[in-house]
């Protein structure tokens, strides 16, 4: 009689194992496997403007007009502000008058030198007279050069009463008001250009050998668009004494990336490849603050296993940092696996 019962149990496994085992056997599973993925590390970065400068006064005078304010777009070469220029125009007029006088003195000295030279050639005057005429000619030439220099200086001072934008950009600060008297070197306006941007990030010293060797590649992740590949990467040759991190600058190509100075971005550095444990993303279930998978063991029993996940990977897989071993099977349908687990627990109850 016992042999007949054992034979029936072998021929009807589902009847002996019960509905929980039958549901677990129907679960579609996948194996947790190791695969090689890019070793990409993320760091925080800040977007900066390559061209950011403060225009300062080059003359001392009263500000007569301000043509742009904060947040205004300024074309390259546009007049930002003007100083009162009457005094400087008067200096230019004086310098031009002095130049004309020097030109007249030089013409007179040349004529006198030529007349004395002809007389000296006939030996009618002494050599000292000839030397004096030559010296007078050279002095007149020197006075003319000095007058030209004074005129150029006066014209330069007059030109400095009109302050122009060194490049196209946006005004971010205005330091003066109309009617103020500005001194030489006093800040007037601060602006930046959106045409050339860069990202500055602090990276640990462990990644510096790969960056210096040129084996690492960098990308800038803005979060709202495709990654931006920098056109140049600058490595600072010294570390911060407190954080022991190195600064890295990534110059962005000239295009509209939707990035603006002051924004936080992520800098992705690819240092090579590494081997990680992965499972299909469909097998992961989130219950409140718990992240888990349903593991089906060799006996066909279902277990809920809490895991710690890493990055999402291509082809619908996700990295598992802890909680699983390579070769373990996970259920691809967490809802059906949860139902099987409840049935399994109900059967196990007394």
Tens-place pLDDT, residues 15-49: 344 555 565 557 788 888 888 877 778 889 999 99
Q: Is the pLDDT of residue 56 over 70?
A: yes
The pLDDT score that the predictor gives to residue 254 is 86
The pLDDT score that the predictor gives to residue 103 is 95
The mean per-residue pLDDT over the stretch 240-264 comes to: 89
Q: What is the mean pLDDT of the chain?
A: 86
Beta carbons of 268 and 305 less than 8 angstroms apart: no
Tens of pLDDT, residue by residue over 112-129, are 999 999 998 988 889 999
Range of weakest confidence among 102-106, 151-155, 342-346: 342-346
Tens of pLDDT, residue by residue over 163-182, are 999 999 999 999 999 999 99
Going from the C-alpha of 204 to that of each of 201, 219, 250, 286, 341, the distances in angstroms are 10, 17, 16, 33, 45
Beta carbons of 48 and 261 less than 8 angstroms apart: yes
Range of weakest confidence among 102-111, 182-191, 257-266: 257-266
Beta-bridge partners for 198: 48, 251
| Domains by residue range for the chain, with CATH | 12-36+275-348 (2.40.420.20), 42-51+193-274 (2.40.30.170), 57-83+162-192 (2.40.50.100), 85-160 (1.10.287)
Going from the C-alpha of 274 to that of each of 218, 281, 305, the distances in angstroms are 17, 19, 25
- The winner for highest mean pLDDT among 170-184, 213-227, 291-305, 319-333 is 170-184
Residues of the chain with pLDDT > 90, as a percent, come to 45
Closest to 254 (Cα-Cα) out of 197, 199, 201: 197
**Which residues touch 234 (CB under 8 Å, ≥6 apart)?**
248, 249, 250, 251
**Which residues touch 249 (CB under 8 Å, ≥6 apart)?**
198, 199, 200, 233, 234, 236
Quick one: how many helices (H) and strands (E) in the chain?
A: 7, 21
Beta-bridge partners for 332: none
């Amino acid at each position: 009689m016992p042999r007949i019962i054992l034979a029936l149990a072998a021929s009807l496994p589902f009847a002996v194992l019960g509905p929980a085992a039958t549901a677990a056997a129907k679960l579609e599973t996948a194996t947790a496997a190791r695969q090689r993925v890019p070793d990409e590390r993320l760091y925080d970065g800040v977007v900066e403007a390559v061209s950011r400068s403060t225009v300062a006064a080059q003359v001392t005078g009263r500000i007569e007009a301000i043509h742009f304010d904060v947040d205004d777009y300024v074309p390259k070469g546009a007049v930002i502000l003007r100083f009162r220029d009457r005094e400087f125009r008067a200096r230019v007029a004086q310098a031009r008058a002095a130049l004309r006088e020097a030109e007249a003195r030089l013409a007179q000295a040349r004529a006198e030198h030529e007349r004395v030279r002809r007389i000296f050639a006939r030996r009618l005057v002494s050599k000292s007279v000839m030397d004096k005429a030559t010296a007078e000619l050279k002095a007149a030439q020197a006075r003319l050069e000095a007058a030209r220099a004074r005129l150029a200086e006066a014209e330069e001072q007059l030109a400095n009463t009109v302050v122009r934008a060194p490049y196209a950009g946006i005004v971010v600060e205005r330091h003066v008001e109309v009617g103020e008297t500005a001194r030489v070197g006093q800040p007037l306006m601060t602006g930046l250009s959106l045409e050339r941007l860069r990202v500055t990030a602090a990276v640990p010293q462990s990644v510096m050998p790969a960056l210096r060797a040129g084996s690492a590649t960098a990308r800038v992740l803005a979060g709202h668009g495709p990654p931006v590949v920098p056109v140049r990467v600058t490595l600072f040759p010294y570390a911060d004494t407190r954080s022991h991190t190195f600064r890295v600058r990534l110059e962005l190509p000239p295009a509209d990336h939707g990035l603006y100075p002051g924004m936080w971005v992520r800098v992705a550095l690819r240092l090579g490849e590494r081997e990680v444990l992965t499972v299909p993303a469909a097998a992961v279930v989130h219950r409140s603050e718990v992240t888990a998978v349903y593991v089906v063991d060799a006996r066909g029993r279902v277990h809920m296993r809490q895991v710690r996940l890493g990055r999402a990977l291509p082809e619908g897989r996700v990295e598992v940092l802890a909680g699983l071993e390579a070769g373990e099977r996970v259920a691809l349908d967490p809802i059906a696996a949860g139902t099987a687990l409840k049935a399994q627990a109900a059967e196990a109850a007394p």
